[in-house]
Amino acid sequence: MESVAGRAPKALLLALGLGIGLLALLPPSLPTYVVIVLTESLIYAIGAASLDLLLGFTGLPSLGHAAFFSVGAYATAVLVTRHQASFGAALAGSVVLAAGVSAAVALLALRATGIYFMMITLSVAMCAWGLAYRWVSLTGGDTGIVGIPRPRVPGVGLASGALAFYYAILALFVVCLTLYLLFIWSPFGKTLVGIRDSESRMRVLGFNVFLHKHLAMTVAGAFAGVAGSLYAYYNGFVGPSTVDLAHSMEFVLMVIVGGPGTLVGPVLGAFAIIFLEKMVSVFTDRWVMVLAAVYVVTALWAPRGILGLLGRAR
């Protein structure tokens, strides 16, 4: 990671500009199916990057990120199907609720560190799954919530076509990415890296380590809520499978495969995992096995993920 006290990292901004340019220009000439997979990748990229704020930057190994993603997804599903909420209202509701739940979980989980932190976040994810399954009056139980209509985007109208919806998501992705970059370059973002490197030093330097970690979890929860809300619109359906453990692990894998603590890495990781999933599931149902193999290969030969490999090749 480049020095952030010194200057803006120009190479990174150039690469990002290039990537977003391609994402903006290519889709009209791509098959509809690919555009749909790209849409899903962008949504997961927002979610994976929010987990990277915890896992990569703060050193908090949260295993329950799908819980906050799902709070966002269910909030949007309920607000849209039962209260006819507008796109903006549903998104805002999802963000506030996911951030709130994340803040409450943080109060509990941050009392522990290391493996105990992992266990608490894992059990939170399991509880969220249990609630999604059993709290039928709110979540529809096993049937979930179906028939979530595509959003009406101000100035564009109903983003019902695959391409129109894609561009709406791309625009939100760019907004989120900008906020993420500002966040990790900010003084607060730097304090999180300091906490990852040495909590004891941060304390004697005058930082309230618990408060910083708590705010980091709240912010990450808010962004997971954004991703969850967009996912509800994208999928048109939200059910217990959105909350399950495999889903949490997928987020972790996106971060690890991409390169933790790089922000851009997990975005690439999300694209890699989603495209791989779509390709593999054409041939076999055993997607989780392939996912596990990807994890083993990454751990053995690319411990710093895709970005680590790119850095080494340079």
Note the residues at the interface with another protein (CB under 8 A): 1, 3-8, 179, 182-183, 185-191, 193-194, 197-198, 200-201, 203-209, 215, 219
DSSP the chain: ---TTT---HHHHHHHHHHHHHHHHSGGGS-HHHHHHHHHHHHHHHHHHHHHIIIIII----S-HHHHHHHHHHHHHHHHHHH---HHHHHHHHHHHHHHHHHHHHHHHTTS-HHHHHHHHHHHHHHHHHHHHH-HHHH-GGG-EE-PPPPEETTTEE--SHHHHHHHHHHHHHHHHHHHHHHHHSHHHHHHHHHHH-HHHHHHTT--HHHHHHHHHHHHHHHHHHHHHHHHHHHSEE-GGGTSHHHHHHHHHHHHHH-TT-SHHHHHHHHHHHHHHHHHHHH-S-HHHHHHHHHHHHHHH-TTHHHHHHHHH-
- Using the minimum distance from each CB to another protein, give the nearer residue, 189 or 269: 189
Distance between terminal CA atoms of the chain? 15
- Using the minimum distance from each CB to another protein, give the nearer residue, 113 or 235: 113
- Using the minimum distance from each CB to another protein, give the nearer residue, 8 or 26: 8
- Using the minimum distance from each CB to another protein, give the nearer residue, 1 or 158: 1
> Rounded to the nearest whole angstrom, what is the least distance from the CB of residue 19 to another protein in the complex?
21
> Rounded to the nearest whole angstrom, what is the least distance from the CB of residue 205 to another protein in the complex?
4
> Rounded to the nearest whole angstrom, what is the least distance from the CB of residue 162 to another protein in the complex?
33
> Rounded to the nearest whole angstrom, what is the least distance from the CB of residue 311 to another protein in the complex?
14
> Rounded to the nearest whole angstrom, what is the least distance from the CB of residue 61 to another protein in the complex?
17
> Rounded to the nearest whole angstrom, what is the least distance from the CB of residue 219 to another protein in the complex?
7
Which are the contacts of 65, defined by CB distance < 8 A and separation ≥ 6?
47, 50, 51, 54, 121, 125, 220, 224, 248, 251, 252
- Using the minimum distance from each CB to another protein, give the nearer residue, 8 or 107: 8
> Rounded to the nearest whole angstrom, what is the least distance from the CB of residue 186 to another protein in the complex?
5
- Using the minimum distance from each CB to another protein, give the nearer residue, 131 or 209: 209
- Using the minimum distance from each CB to another protein, give the nearer residue, 182 or 246: 182
